[in-house]
Copies of this chain bind each other. A is one copy, B any other.
Amino acid sequence: MRIAIAQLNIHIGNFDSNTEKILNAVRSAREQGAELVCFSELATTGYPALDLLESPHFIQKSNELLERLKEASSGIGIVIGAPRINPELPGKNLYNSAFFFANGQQLGFADKALLPTYDVFDEYRYFEPGKKFNTIEFKGKRIALTICEDIWDLVNEDPIYTFHPMDELMKDKPDLAINISASPFSEGQHRNRKKVLKMNAERYKLPFFYINHVGAQTDLIFDGGSLVVGPSGEVQDEMPFFEECVRTYELDEIMKMDGISKLQSTDRIALMHDALVFGLRDFFVKLGFKKAIMGLSGGIDSALTAALTCRALGAKNVHGLIMPSEFSSKNSVRDAEKLVENLGMSSDILDIGDIYDLFTSKLDAFFGKTPFDVTEENIQARARGILLMAYSNKLGHVLLNTTNKSEMAVGYGTLYGDLCGSLSVIGDVYKTDVYKLSNYINREEEIIPRSTIVKPPSAELKPDQKDSDSLPDYDLLDPILKMMIEKKYSMEQIASEGYNSEVVQKVWQLVHRSEFKRYQTAPVLRVSDKAFGYGRRIPLVGKF
């Protein structure tokens, strides 16, 4: 049997264009001689459709798309993920299901049984867990059909669920397994996927066809990398990352091969780079925008953001504002200009000195003589925010946020100032990785000026300011933040790893005290296992 995998980028809510894209993929699979074509999880709606799933008319549109696919299944089998209305309440209104069409009929369906409800996943909010497990017979083969999480609990050291859906399906003695997924990128996730597929193939002695979604939805980047794994666990093919692709496999060959010799490059920093560029591009494509703007300080965060954006959108669509104040060094403007030149993007210079003076003199009348403090620092950041948003409003450029994860964690940023922006490009990238990404971008030629990379980090909001005046060095800060955010260690646990308790306590307090800022900042492109945003929900409690 010839089986095609259609790794597609679905645009939530745009049923017309999605229908066309899916039908085109069916056509393309047919042309490749496929007898069965498989799409990813919830491919009719896109993932995550969130509360749109609660709108009956949204589900109706998904059902209309399913009808079209059923009709299109003459002479070819089609597996596709879609919500299925629960016909037997009580329970949630929907199942997260895989439909199987062939010859204009529905051959069967499978409901997702294990519903991830952690981190960025909220599937119990919308779906009833599946409780029935039957293989589907097609062209003489019994197919075990599962959905994403259904096959994942094997890799968890502490299992989350009480059973494995594949164990149930094995009673029917399947000939092959298909798993349709929507598994977002994070560093290392491609390794987890291969491990999961390998463990399943070995345990069940079956070939696995694993279809992943590709495409970004705001903060989540689905990286593709769909897999075909032979019955003894070897990866037989890995589809490209960050690209749509329809590719057909002969089942008999998959049963015989012993694995491909060379997988795609999985260098951590290279993949993170590609993910950010892809996520950024798809954000613009899906919202119908073309042009971006950002502030350029001469520092490394805005330089990296600009470089990634030029790759995503093309330099001609990227504009930078260089907005020095009296506290900016000459070198900063020079570094920003050098970057603009290297990237071939456009820029303007707007000195904010007069704006700053006007605000502070106006406020002096009310505050009296008070010492320079964070108020004056923030006025500069917020004046820049106004100028950037004015460009955005007048010229239609989308403002991008340039804050890194380390800063965002400790609240080292001005709300409504440098925290402005529709999307945070590197808000899930620790400062130490900002350096690595910058060096990666410079690996063949100097794009981000070397002086930007080597100078000590500074917000330049007061005389001779350095990040290190108020924060530990990033080499020390980042591991503490990782333990706190990713590993949920207590202060005592972090200190027991050899870190100074006073430093740990200070970082701990900075993170908790700045939760209110993160309540109001842009969505963050997610590249780690625990990004700020939807997948991390900390109450505003003052202290803990």
On A, residues with C-beta under 8 Å from B are 11-14, 46, 48-52, 54-58, 89-92, 115, 117-118, 122, 124-125, 153, 158-162, 217-218, 286-288, 348, 350, 354-355, 358-359, 362-363, 366-367, 370, 373-375, 378-379, 382-383, 385-387, 389-391, 393-395, 415-416, 420, 422, 488, 490, 492-493, 516, 519-523, 534, 536-544
Contact = CB atoms under 8 A, between A and B. Distances in A.
Nearest to A11: B541
Nearest to A220: B539
Contacts of A355: 355, 358-359, 362
A416 B390 contact: no
Nearest to A367: B394
B383 A386 contact: yes
Given A358-B355, A359-B355, A385-B416, A286 B541 contact: yes
Given A122-B125, A488-B55, A522-B519, A286 B374 contact: no
Contacts of A153: 90
Contacts of A379: 386, 390
Given A218-B540, A354-B358, A519-B522, 12 more contacts: A50-B538, A52-B539, A115-B124, A117-B122, A124-B125, A217-B539, A286-B542, A362-B387, A363-B394, A382-B386, A382-B416, A520-B520
Copies in the complex: 2
B14 A543 contact: yes
B288 A162 contact: no
Q: What 6 A-B pairs come out closest when comparing CB atoms?
A: A13-B544, A57-B490, A90-B159, A124-B124, A375-B393, A13-B541
Given A125-B117, A350-B366, A416-B385, A56 B490 contact: yes
Contacts of A57: 490, 492-493
A159 B488 contact: no
Contact of A544 (B12, B367, B370): B12
Contacts of A51: 536-538
B523 A521 contact: no
Contacts of A537: 50-51, 122, 534
Given A286-B542, A538-B50, A541-B13, A390 B374 contact: no
